[in-house]
A and B are shown apart, each in its own frame.
Chain A
Amino acid sequence: MSVDAARLPEAGRWRSLFDFYVTTMRTAVAAQLQYRVAQYFYMIGMVAEPVVYLVVWTTIAEEQGGAVNGITVGEFAAYYIVWTLVRNMNIVFGAPFWEFRIREGRLAGDLLKPMTMLHYDLAYFAGWKFVVVAMWIPIAIGLSAVFHPTLDPTALQIGVFICAIWGAYLIRTMFQGIVGMLNFWTTRGAAVFDLYMATEMLLSGRLVPLQLMPGWVQTLADFLPFKWTFGYPIESLVGDMSTRSLLLGLVAQLLWIGIGLAGYRLAWKFAIKRFTAVGG
């Protein structure tokens, strides 16, 4: 039989990409719903971090007459509760997952498929987010009942926020992916990852609202991608940003997505070269 026999025709390019995203997201939801219990525990553990920060800053604020640097107790509560949503949206196919993928030998199987890995990771985690957000809602309600946040966003703010959390998701996928790909060259990728996380914690608004950081830190944060994955989305919803700065923020996110994507593709090219050279 000739080599061209039984060759199946392809469906249209863009339609199949859309179809691929929808199918993958649906698969992710079905698979992740099976791990509800584990996810809930993880989320509760994650909530401990912002609760501690919130309590500390609330104490300081109360001892200082109600506010720190103009941020009231209610605003702190709002900041850290929205923090929990942004934190959940931030979980991407990052360094630990890359390490797992390489170590467990799943990479070979994934590489045999005619689909860019990035699409697969983005689609799968995006689908997962829907499960995550649904589970987060009761936790948010509980936290709000205990800590009484002051939150009164406009429609524009809500719209920008929704765009911003997905922007944060994309930026973080790119940058964490680059760090994760270090695992192709070293088994100690976790150490670099820790360093990255520590930097992110300080410069992103995860530890404290960036307003409370010394001036030079705030300037530095403006030129790095971290702020746009954490602080900016939170501030867009709970803060007092002008329309101009809200929209400029989205532009900044687009810029960082572009830089991240370029870096990711470069890293991936080298990673594939490395993998196919040494096997796995």
Chain B
Amino acid sequence: MNAVRVGWLYLKIGVLNELQYRVNFFVQLLQSLIQIGTGLVMLSLVYSHTDELHGWKQPELLSLLGVQVLLGGVIHAFIQPNMERLMQDVQEGTLDYALTKPADSQVLVSVRTVRIWQVVEIVSGFILLFVGLAGVDKSVGFVDAIAFGCALVIGAVLVYCFWLIMTTGAFWIVRMEHVLELFEGIYRTGQWPIGVYPGWLRYSVTFLVPVAFAVTVPAQAVTSRLQWQTLLISFVFGCVLFVVARWFWRFGLRHYAGASA
């Protein structure tokens, strides 16, 4: 399939490009260590005052942190760079370069750029996840693992669609970049199980900015507390959002092409 081939090609080029900057690896390593360190400190602080947070024990919450860091790495490596570049192209009018290439435009703008050193973040997320799981009483079953995998993919798709919809909004609203700066802050909410948040916040981080689904659902899967209904809703939500994002993107493109002088 053409989209896959294009994606692979861009990935290769992006990686080769970035590999030149070996210093970036150490910088990224340092940043990941700091990020995880702070997360772990917070976690141990919390558990020095309690045994269970909303029914989650410490190793389980560690796994949740692992999923958050892991997904964060995926976002920072693959999703965010492309969306930021897309935003810049829209603002500076350089989007035409992407549109005149013989490939599906959405695929192109979604895979052009990669920050490969963020993979360090993905790896550290996995490490945290496994360390956490090692401390959990119940071992992870086969079904749980499959559910985890599916939930993670759906989560990534949800975040991607969210970003794409927001960035497409930049066709109309120039100030969109400020909205996206909020993302990092709101993504912090994924560090904790959504049950702790008051109702209005819970719904916001589930449907408005689908951080909760993206992080909590896989974590629930891997700690054996996921209900199949949740996974189903997540899957349906993911499909719907993907369709909406794609439609919105083509709508925005038509508007852009019509409007550009």
Instruction: Give the contact-size bracket for chain A.
Output: 20 to 34
Q: Is B12 an interface residue (CB 8 A)?
A: no
Residues of A within 8 A of B138 (CB): none
Q: Which of B37, B50, B182 contacts A45 (CB 8 A)?
A: B182
Alpha-carbon distance between A214 and B178 when the two chains are bound, in angstroms: 38
- Chain B residues 142 to 192 lying within 8 A of chain A, measured CB to CB, are 175, 178-179, 181-182, 184-186, 188-189, 191-192
Q: Is B4 an interface residue (CB 8 A)?
A: no
Contact with A along B38-52 (1 / 0, CB 8 A): 100110011011101
Are B23 and A60 in touch, CB under 8 angstroms?
A: no
Residues of B within 8 A of A42 (CB): 178, 181
Alpha-carbon distance between A214 and B44 when the two chains are bound, in angstroms: 11
Q: Which of A45, A46, A56 contacts B196 (CB 8 A)?
A: A56
Instruction: Give the contact-size bracket for chain B.
Output: 20 to 34
Alpha-carbon distance between A56 and B190 when the two chains are bound, in angstroms: 12
Residues of A within 8 A of B179 (CB): 41
Alpha-carbon distance between A132 and B177 when the two chains are bound, in angstroms: 20
Are B182 and A41 in touch, CB under 8 angstroms?
A: yes
Alpha-carbon distance between A63 and B27 when the two chains are bound, in angstroms: 40
Q: Is A133 an interface residue (CB 8 A)?
A: no
Alpha-carbon distance between A49 and B42 when the two chains are bound, in angstroms: 13
Alpha-carbon distance between A201 and B48 when the two chains are bound, in angstroms: 18
Alpha-carbon distance between A49 and B190 when the two chains are bound, in angstroms: 11
Q: Which of A52, A146, A190, A212 contacts B188 (CB 8 A)?
A: A52
Give B34's nearest chain A residue, CB to CB.
A198
Contact with B along A30-41 (1 / 0, CB 8 A): 000000011001
Q: Is A69 an interface residue (CB 8 A)?
A: yes
Residues of B within 8 A of A195 (CB): 30, 34
Are A207 and B42 in touch, CB under 8 angstroms?
A: yes
Q: Is B102 an interface residue (CB 8 A)?
A: no
Q: A45-B182, A49-B185 are in contact. Are A198 and B38 (CB under 8 A)?
A: yes
Q: A41-B178, A56-B196 are in contact. Are A48 and B189 (CB under 8 A)?
A: yes
Known: A63-B54, A202-B38; 17 extra A-B contacts, CB below 8 A, are A42-B178, A42-B181, A45-B184, A48-B186, A51-B201, A52-B189, A63-B52, A63-B53, A146-B198, A188-B23, A190-B27, A194-B31, A198-B34, A208-B42, A208-B45, A212-B45, A213-B45
In the assembled complex, 16 residue pairs joining A and B whose CB atoms fall closer than 8 Å, in A order, are A38-B175, A41-B178, A41-B181, A45-B186, A46-B185, A48-B185, A48-B189, A49-B185, A63-B50, A63-B52, A68-B50, A69-B49, A188-B27, A190-B27, A191-B30, A202-B41
Residues of A within 8 A of B (CB): 37-38, 41-42, 44-49, 51-52, 55-56, 59-60, 63-64, 68-69, 146, 188, 190-191, 194-195, 198, 201-202, 207-208, 212-214
